[in-house]
A and B are shown apart, each in its own frame.
Chain A
Amino acid sequence: MTTGSHEPRDDGAAGIDRRDALKLVGGSAIAVALAGCAELLEDEDDAIEDADVPDEPIEAGLQTFLEGAPAVLGVQAEMGAETAVRRINDNGGVAGREIELDVIEEGEEALENYQQFVDDGKDVTFGPISSGNHEAMVPEINAQGVINVATDGTVTTLYEEDHPPEDNTYSFRFQNHDVMEALAAAVEAVEVLGVDEIDTYAGINPGYAFGFDEHEVFSAGIEQLTGAEEVYDGFPDLGADDMSTHIEAVNSEEPDVLFSSCWGGDATLLLEQGHGAGMFDNIELMVGPVLYGSANDLSEGLVDGPIRSGSRNFYWDEPTTDRWSPAADLFEEVVDEYDAVPTAHFMSGYGAVTAWATAAEKAVRLLGRWPEQDELAELLVGHGFHTPAGYHTMADDHQCYSNAHFGELAWSDDLDAAVLENVTVYAPEEVSPPQGKPSLEWIGGW
């Protein structure tokens, strides 16, 4: 499928003045800048000017995957965090304090990396990408008392069961959790095909915790919505070099819906081999929560077919850039700076920094001085803020909730890149349980 309507438009935020913008995004200068409306800033901010704030810059650390297969996701998070920091520093810093961001490889030592960041005197840390790494870090974060805002680490049970709010003070997560995207995939399949048209489904998911979790949640959701029967579940190794056995199994079973949470090279391999083996002629629809994470690696031939992809809490063209100038500005900035299309993982980094920075400036405004870690942690709970992806809320469980996106995978000749068409936006309450309710229990009650 080829479309030509994805050229971002450079359009000012006509009709909104500075006062309106400040009101909309929470009343702080950098909040406006990070929401993508910096051009509206003109006046001095007296509350911040008069506050007792140290002169030295804010020391921040980000750990993310910079090498190997997961770098497809990790480098986008790095670009996002750097973009947010650049925007903050270009607009005078957080209450006048610029941010110095150290970026290091996450590897398998996220816990040790966090400890080193704390030893180095970091004021705040961001990351990791891996859910296992995140799980290992949370107790240490609470023992050390230096706030960490995770970019990803999306395993749902982390804050639902393992570290409920009463045991967790300093650990937060920005990106949507995995239930949201797996359920969005199930709902999307029903929206596209209709309940009566889905009798069977299959799954090809990466063979590690994330893939197993996503498959379990999707299965629960699609079975609850349609009563469909699972006809195949395959779990190729992460970084597999052949998926043909799984594809042949799908071709043999001809399910109505194929669900795949494969990402990075696994996603492109599945699409390549799937096209080669005619898989898309044997299914009605493929839904993949993170296929678009490989946007910069996909080619025109791979996006053909009935494929719909999620894009977590950010798709750069939703709302479309000709109606939403903050997204247009961000898209152009990213393409100019990094020569890459921003994906949801870009927003993971951007949003994590934005969540902390806007809360810190709000705290300075309220306290008249720089906040302590516990004061800032308290203020982060319930904190709402804007990014070019929209409005986000850090809930009581320390999990940030944002819209979830799903759209039809397509190709843009203008961009020479993969895009999403006919994007559906799901509000958090549609695809995630109420606070305190375990996800699978909630799905069971649908």
Chain B
Amino acid sequence: MSRLSPLEERDGETVVRVPLTNGLTLTKGQTALTLVGILVLFGLPFLAGIVGLSWGRLFRGLLFGMAAVGLNLLLRHTELVSFGHAAFFGGGAYAVAVLAAHLDVSEGLLLLLAAVIVGTLLAAFIGYFVAGYVDIYFALLTLAFNAVIFATVFRSGFFNYNDGLAVRVGGDNPTLFGLGWTDLGYDLVLYYTTIVLMLVMLLLMWRLVHSPFGRALDAIGQDRTRARFIGIPVERYVWISFTISGLYGAFAGGVYALQRLHVQPEPTLYVFVSGEILFMAILGGFTTLVGPLIGGVLLVYLLEATRFSFYYYHAPIGIILLAIVFFMPKGIMGSLPDILAGLSRRASDPGLLGDDLQTIGSSIRRSLSRATTTVRILVFGVR
């Protein structure tokens, strides 16, 4: 293959070199999926309506998913579970709202830059205090910081309590690139600007986790003591990864504020939102780069849309999520290779379907037997 060709042979397989990643590669299948994903993202405003989906809702899902991508840097590599990432999402959103509402800043990109700076500084501040902790202590500390920020905003007249702040100066949408737009134009320009920035940020995250720094984070996640022995400055690296993680959340929160044009504490800063962001990462597949993005879209869509179809809408959401957790323990994207391989095997050997049915049948029999035994013990006691 020529030096200019993006294709090369590695371990007997043709792979595609990705530009600007210092030699990172994708398989042909991964390349095709990535290109399809990018095309879908760019076509979303037009495709969503055709298939009966809400573009705005998908957009919000992508934003929460982006916050989950940031959180996943900690979850996947340093194996730290943060219950406080809504602080950075909400911090970014409120930076936009405060500048627009109190200082009449009307340029959207300036507001977004402020969101990223404020959210990242917030993450650096909190990260400094939590970087030395692990497990439940880390989780509770992040939750506590989140709760303090939420309570401060919720009860502060400066932030207009829970009524929140509008991101409109004189009743108008912010400008983008110095220009005023129609409502539709504003939504489209904001969306495409976000998608371009989002793709760049995904590329940077991919590059980061495959860099020596990313490998060091993996080592920290596996065993902090060993990582320290081989010379990795553990607390500093965790602090840096925490700050980078917060940057992604702050960016997402900033765009959320520009998209929704009104920021309230409950949908952005509440600790439950932190839990949702964490769940998005797990749901989509925290062992993958884009899994959290998929998890974000799915969870936001379920939370916002099912109420229009079901009175007790939490029930179907719960059932769907339980099914994913039980049957796809690696999350949607993480389980995808296994599912595709399984389907491929069954396509070539349909006899395997019989085995599947037998497995399901015996599983149900075992469950019923256990349930019967439990009920018998509850009613008649242990004999």
Q: Contact residues of A with B, CB < 8 Å?
A: 66, 102, 104-105, 107-109, 111-113, 115-116, 119-120, 131-133, 135-136, 139-140, 143, 155, 162-163, 167, 207-209, 212, 235
Contact = CB atoms under 8 A, between A and B. Distances in A.
A235 B155 contact: yes
Contacts of B303: 109
Nearest to B263: A136
B262 interface: yes
A104 B313 CA distance: 10
A111 B163 contact: no
Interface residues of B, number: 29
B154 interface: yes
A105 B168 contact: no
Nearest to B55: A119
Contacts of B267: 108-109
User: What are the 3 closest A-B residue pairs judged by CB atoms, nearest first?
Assistant: A209-B161, A136-B262, A132-B163
B168 A139 contact: yes
Interface string B51-80: 000101100100000000000000000000
Interface of B (DSSP majority class): helix
Given A115-B56, A119-B54, A235-B155, 9 more contacts: A105-B307, A105-B313, A109-B304, A132-B163, A135-B262, A136-B262, A143-B183, A209-B160, A209-B161
A112 B162 CA distance: 17
B162 A132 contact: yes
Nearest to B266: A108
A111 B167 CA distance: 14
Contact of B305 (A102, A116, A132): A116
Nearest to A104: B307
Contacts of B305: 116
A113 B168 CA distance: 21
A139 B171 contact: yes
Given A132-B164, A139-B166, A208-B161, A111 B262 contact: yes
B261 interface: yes
Interface in B255-292: 260-262, 264, 266-267
Contacts of B57: 112
B157 interface: yes
Nearest to B57: A112
Contacts of A133: 264
A171 to B, nearest CB: 13
Contact of A212 (B60, B157, B168, B266): B157
Nearest to A109: B304
Contact of A139 (B56, B163, B261, B313): B261
Contacts of A120: 308
Contact of B307 (A107, A119, A207, A208): A107
Nearest to A135: B163
7 contacts: A104-B308, A105-B313, A116-B308, A119-B54, A136-B260, A162-B166, A207-B154
A207 B152 CA distance: 11
A238 to B, nearest CB: 9
A363 B60 CA distance: 39
A136 B166 CA distance: 7
A108 B183 CA distance: 23
Contact of A132 (B60, B261, B264, B313): B264
